[in-house]
Amino acid sequence: MNNIFQKAVIITATVFLLACNNTTTESKTDSATAETSSNAGQANVKDDASMKDIVKIAIGSADHTTLISALQQAELVDVLANPGPFTVFAPTNAAFDKLPVGTVDGLMKPEKKTDLQNILQYHVTTSSLKADFFTDGMTIGMVNGGTVTVSVKDGKIVLNNSATIVASIPASNGMVHVIDGVLLPK
């Protein structure tokens, strides 16, 4: 008896709750237009009028496909579409290729996500630094908590004595400095 009662209760409650869910789904379709805004994240905001943000610039560059894959794997794409402002040191595909064989593939494994995030966040600082803001010997605090040391010699800006800025591109939410080496956190 008790058992039957319990079953009846569960079935009834389930039926009513299901009915409830159906109502909600229908009313949603009824009351809103087909257009949806940006539940997908800030990087997916439809906007062809504004200047390109850092994410759009990187996506548009054939030399940065490795960086984009890494940013996606590290779930940093929406972050870099945020108002920032950011300065991103963006290693080229060739820069990633200079790392020991297998390094990038290793970092792309799910269990290495934290390491990948650490390395990528070492390439980002939260202020918009134009090339002429850099001075010899200055240090920059990076998002991962580490610092990068700048040297300026003969007009060449070198980071950590290992990566040179080869191009600088203004973005709507900061600056992208293309570099020819990957910065490795100490």
Which residues contribute to the site for another protein (CB under 8 A)? Answer: 1, 4-5, 8-9, 12-13, 15-17, 19-20, 23-24, 27-28, 30-33, 35-39, 45, 47, 49-51, 53, 82-85, 126-128, 133, 172-174
Decide whether 81 or 182 has the Cβ nearer to another protein.
81
Query: Six-digit token pair at 30?
Result: 């009824």
d(CA 127, CA 84): 7
Decide whether 78 or 115 has the Cβ nearer to another protein.
78
Q: Report CA torsion sign: 162, 87, 78, 55.
A: negative
d(CA 130, CA 168): 8
Count Cβ atoms within 10 A of the Cβ of residue 18 and give its class: 0-12 exposed, 13-18 middle, 19 or more buried. exposed
Decide whether 47 or 97 has the Cβ nearer to another protein.
47
Bridge partners of 169, per DSSP, are 176
Residue 84 CB, nearest approach to another protein (Å)? 6
Residue 5 CB, nearest approach to another protein (Å)? 5
Decide whether 23 or 72 has the Cβ nearer to another protein.
23
Residue 10 CB, nearest approach to another protein (Å)? 9
Residue 174 CB, nearest approach to another protein (Å)? 7
Residue 15 CB, nearest approach to another protein (Å)? 8
Count Cβ atoms within 10 A of the Cβ of residue 58 and give its class: 0-12 exposed, 13-18 middle, 19 or more buried. buried
Decide whether 34 or 62 has the Cβ nearer to another protein.
34
Residue 26 CB, nearest approach to another protein (Å)? 9
d(CA 103, CA 80): 24
Query: Six-digit token pair at 75?
Result: 């779930």
Decide whether 9 or 94 has the Cβ nearer to another protein.
9
Residue among 43, 39, 92, 83 nearest 64 (CA): 92
